[in-house]
Structure 1
Amino acid sequence: MPFACADARFPPGLFNMSSLSTSAVVHRSLKVDFPRIIGSKGNYVILEDGRRIFDASGGAAVACIGHGDTRVHDAIAAQLKKISYCSTIFYTTDVCEKLCRELVDSTHGVMKRAYIVNSGSEAMEAAMKLARQYYLEKVPPEPSRMRFIAREHSYHGTTLGSLSMGGHVTRRAKFEPMLLDCVSRVSRCFPFRDKQGSETDLQYVTRLADELDREFQRIGADTVCAFVAEPIVGAALGCVPFVPGYLKAMKAVCDKHGALFILDEVMCGMGRSGTYHAWEQDDAVPDIQTLGKCLGGGYQPIAGVLASKKVIEVFEKGTGVFVHGHTYQGHPIACAAALEVQRIIREENLVQNVSNMGGLLSARLQDLVASHPNVGNVRGSGLFWGVEFVMDKTTNKPFPSSLGVAFEIAELGLTNPYSMAVYPSSGTADGVNGDHIIISPPYNILATDVETIATTIQRLIIDYFASKKAET
């Protein structure tokens, strides 16, 4: 059975390819007949052949309160009876105002306004434009600032602007001639692969901060709008958390050079990492923040940007105009769904449950999976965990991308007796080679669900690598 791999790359032999598909959809592969979901409830999606798949990844770390919650359905239906579309050049809606207030208040007052869009890629595009316009609105203005510094092997979206910001080698490869040349890169924060054996955390953080400082100087500090990073790297590296003190150190370098500090929390934020915002774990407040997947929990397409008082007050004293916009920004139905999802998360204290169940999931994955000879590393935070696979545990040599290890594991997971969805990706080690899966279940899981997830993934990994050994 085919699996829709995140990189839209289909390793040879992974799928039952067919040129006879009759679908009218431009799927991630036009040669794959994708299985159809006919229903869902709670932690499960139901396929047309009757299989119930435990959604242990929430899709792409999206379904944070599970599937089929009728409270969200009711909120959507209620909004439909009021207004289904708002032309934001003329109007606003109560539901958009309430959602943005909810988001601003979640930062304890350090952010001042929110901007609602439809996807994480759109959010990054808006963040880039907001940063550029901030320097044009300043008194005195700084029009020379038009560059960004991001990180190697990062991922920030698929539109040309957000893809330019990202450093994901395989996702960029076909479009390199079209991408912006105003983005340079520094090293990722990835202690498993990049931290030197004798380094302490403090020394590692200092080395990375020094590298960022040198990059500002190399390209001209007065040309840089912002440094951009995911606090906990999702799809590109597989739930790699920042080293304690890293965010603070990088923000300090930005402050030194008068640049903005932008954090991409589209995948790791909104409670996913065990705090409402991942940056709270290092007390490093961004100037601009993107958010997305767990904002609406998959019930509607929605993402957003949070802007700090520092940024907004410059606009308020200037033209007051953000020269950017989308037809469907602040969409009332999307806002209604997200507002209800956030109400459920808040009133049911689900972020605390993420922290509690995340600690248990971490312990069980370490107990059951970490010692496997082809598991190089288990890492994450909250209910956002990655398992990286290696050919050789002593050297951490990655599997070549041509083998499609992570995608084959994910495909096997959808079959009986496992019937569990995990999120696969590749390029973990060097941007091309290396494999990992992500485990990111709903926030409202129980201890029994954690045990089901951990034991199933253990069996899945053991069986997959045993079958590969038997083939050779």
Structure 2
Amino acid sequence: MSATIASEATLSSVLHASLGGSPPRIVAARGNYLRTEDGVDILDASGGAAVSCIGHGHPRVIQAIKDQLDAVEYCFSPWFTTAAYERLAKFLTDSTGGVMQKVFVCSSGAEAVEAALKMARQYFMELAEPQPQRTRFIARDRSYHGNTLGSLSVSGHKARRTIYEPMLSQNMTHVSPCFAYRGMKADETDEQYVARLAQELEDEFQRVGSDTVCGFVAETVAGLTLGGVPPVPGYLKAMKAVCDKHGALFILDEVFAGMGRTGTLHAWEQEGVVPHLQTIAKGLGAGYQAVGALLVSKQVVDVLSKGTKAFVHFQTYHGHPLACAAAYEVQQVIKDEGLIENCREMGAYLGELLKERLGSHKHVGDIRGRGLVWGVSIDHSSARYCRGARANECLQIEIVKDRQTKQPFPVTDKIAPTIHATGLRKEFAISLIPGGGVADGTHGDLIVLAPAYNVTKMDVELIVGRAAKAIEHVLGGQRDAKL
């Protein structure tokens, strides 16, 4: 066999993220580690994409999947139900104290967002006096809600939208995110900043026609495109008040932040608001099965119950028994092992260590997060931490070129992807989440940490040590002399 033919024979048939090569091949996963085919144990500090919240290979979840396989592996949910689906849905509605009354289980966060958009439209079509003119949604700049055409349309992340822009819905518009590090003026109080953002949302309702808007869509805690940014106190209440004023729905995307990641099962519990519609996914099934869900409030359920008594939407794999069984057992593990409490404690410790190790680095502008999701943001910015934060909850690392200007590195420098690739090398052996577009949708780099909820103090110390070494290897170890 010629060298050319041999080379072609070894090419992967997988359409990987990069056609220039294959990523490391994982042959085993246990606890907080991923083992590559060449024997390197990589510390999984990212949980994949903030998914593996109870670590890998948990015996209870594996057994639950096996038991479900012995019972019912699949049935079509529009025609049938299963004990697994009913049990998971009951757990989720009970976890909200009943304020969310129904659950639609699907296979991903993007699908949950699609379902939410459709549900919002159907709600207005089934009111006692239907409002068919409501076809629009308002979301936030630099947000991310998924990669399907509908969920990408409502997303505000410029870099991910650009190539598909001509195909995306024109019924979605965007307002500023709640991003104190870059958005709050130097002389503003939290209250003034919130009032300004609320007025911007009010102005957008008026601009597009307040009676044409189905709802406002926001991540309760911003995900990877901003790097775990918690809202300023009072922000979500103010946004919901604007929605209520105009009769629009308040839709919270907790695909990233929900199911315990930020220190409570539902991130909105910390904000004193209840959404009309809520999406969840990543921490729901912890990666053991592909699963997401839409939670529907009593207000919306009541309208449908008086109308068609049906949701005009379904999917081949919605309510999949294996996914429901896995997700339910994941949630029982989280409860039985006290992992939400551990998430709060270890999240605070993680934030402290990150600030100690990287807080004065000349290229670290901000460290922010909540619970067990923390971000290192990379740009040219000053070290101004998130204002209005609860203790130990609002920190991110924004990696910067100049701490005084907040100008981001050019996207062509590929700072965050380089740090990610460096971390995977044997001498660092850590998986980090790279993010981009934090400054303007295109430029501005992030490194995000999202370890499993059951990490120990020793795990946290190891994560910070390895992450810092990878970051310092790429950016140098210089500290800002002005601090």
TM-score with structure 1 setting the length: 0.94
- C-alpha contact 1:112 1:308 (8 A) present in aligned 2: yes
Q: Does 1:407 align with 2:396?
A: no
SS at match of 1:54: strand
Shift of the 139–358 alpha-carbon distance from structure 1 to 2, 3 Å rule, reads same
Q: CA RMSD in A?
A: 1.4
CA distance in 1, matches of 2:417, 2:221: 22
Aligned residue in 1 for 2:405? 395
Q: Give the C-alpha shift of residue 231 in structure 1.
A: 1.2
Compute the displacement of 1:19 (Å): 8.8
The equivalent of 1:145 in structure 2 is 134
Question: What do residues 199-246 of structure 1 show as CA deviations (whole Å, max 9, x unaligned)?
Answer: 011110010001101111111111000000001111211111111111
- CA distance 1:81–1:373, shift in 2 (3 Å): same
Amino acid corresponding to residue 410 of structure 2 in structure 1: P
Whole-Å Cα distance in 1 between the matches of residues 331 and 358 of structure 2?
33
> For the residues of structure 1 that align with 2:266 and 2:193, how far apart are their CA atoms?
24
Q: 2:434–2:445: 8 Å Cα contact kept in structure 1?
A: yes
* Match in the other structure for 1:119: 108
Question: Compared with structure 1, are the counterparts of its residues 21 and 261 closer, same or farther at alpha carbon in structure 2 (3 Å cutoff)?
Answer: farther
CA offsets 1:241-294 (integer angstroms, 9 cap, x no match)? 111111111001000110000000001110000111111111111000000001
**One-letter identity of the residue aligned with 1:123:** A
Tell me, yes or no, if structure 1 residue 136 matches structure 2 residue 125: yes
Look up the match of 2:470: 460
Residue correspondence of structure 1 range 84-233 to structure 2 within 5 A: 84-233=73-222
> Counterpart of 1:158 in structure 2: which amino acid?
N
> What is the deviation of 1:140?
1.1
Give the gaps of 5 or more residues in structure 1.
Answer: 1-17
Structure 2 SS opposite 1:81:
helix
Q: Displacement, 1:21?
A: 6.2
Q: For 1:324 and 1:343, locate their aligned partners in 2 and report how far apart those are by CA, in whole Å.
A: 29
Aligned amino acid, residue 203 of structure 1 = Q
- Percent identical: 52
Question: Residue 35 of structure 1 corresponds to which residue in structure 2?
Answer: 24
**TM-score, normalised relative to structure 2:** 0.92
In structure 2, give the amino acid aligned to 1:263: L
Shift of 1:326: 0.2
User: Runs ≥4 in structure 1, deviation > 4 angstroms?
Assistant: 18-21
Q: 1:147 to 1:363 in 2, by over 3 A?
A: same
State the alpha-carbon separation in 1 of the partners of residues 132 and 8 from structure 2: 52
Q: Which residue of 2 aligns with 1:370?
A: 359
Alpha-carbon distance, 1:89 to partner:
2.0
Q: Alignment partner of 1:431: what SS? A: coil
2:474 counterpart letter in structure 1: Y
Q: How does 1:307-346 map to 2 (within 5 A)?
A: 307-346=296-335
Work out the CA distance in 2 between the residues paired with 1:450 and 1:347: 22
Letter in 2 for 1:449: D
- Return the alpha-carbon distance in structure 2 between the equivalents of residues 382 and 207 of structure 1: 27
Q: In the alignment, is residue 289 of structure 1 matched against residue 278 of structure 2?
A: yes
Aligned residue for 1:68, secondary structure, equals coil
Quote the offset at 1:168 in angstroms.
Answer: 0.8
Give the corresponding residue for 2:433.
423
The residue number in structure 1 matching 2:393 is none
* Distance in 1 of aligned mates of 2:290 and 2:192: 41
Of 209, 226, 233, 1:244 maps to: 233
Q: Which residue of 2 aligns with 1:52?
A: 41
Q: Which SS does the other structure have where 2:476 is aligned? A: helix
Give the letter aligned to residue 335 of structure 1: C
Higher relative contact order (CA 8 A, sep 6+): 1
Unaligned runs of 5+ in 2: 1-6, 378-398, 479-483
Deviations 1:418-457 (A, max 9, x none): 1111100111111111100110000001111111111222
Counterparts of 2:423 and 2:14, CA distance in 1:
25
Contact 2:143 2:157 in 1 (8 A): yes
Q: Per-residue displacement from partner, 1:55-114 (whole Å, max 9, x unpaired)? A: 001010000000011111110000001110011121100010000111111111110011
Alpha-carbon distance between aligned partners in 2 of 1:36 and 1:140, rounded to the nearest angstrom: 56
Amino acid at match of 2:422: L
Partners of 1:109 and 1:65 lie apart in 2 by: 26
Question: Where does residue 291 of structure 2 map in the other structure?
Answer: 302
Structure 1 position 417, deviation (Å) = 2.2
Instruction: Tell me the distance in 2 between the aligned counterparts of 1:27 and 1:360.
Output: 36
Does the aligned pair in 2 maintain the 1:21–1:31 contact within 8 Å?
A: no
* Kept after mapping to 2: 8 A contact 1:19/1:31: no
1:374 partner amino acid: H
Q: Would you say how many aligned residue pairs link Structure 1 and Structure 2?
A: 452
Question: Quick one: which amino acid aligns to residue 46 of structure 2?
Answer: S
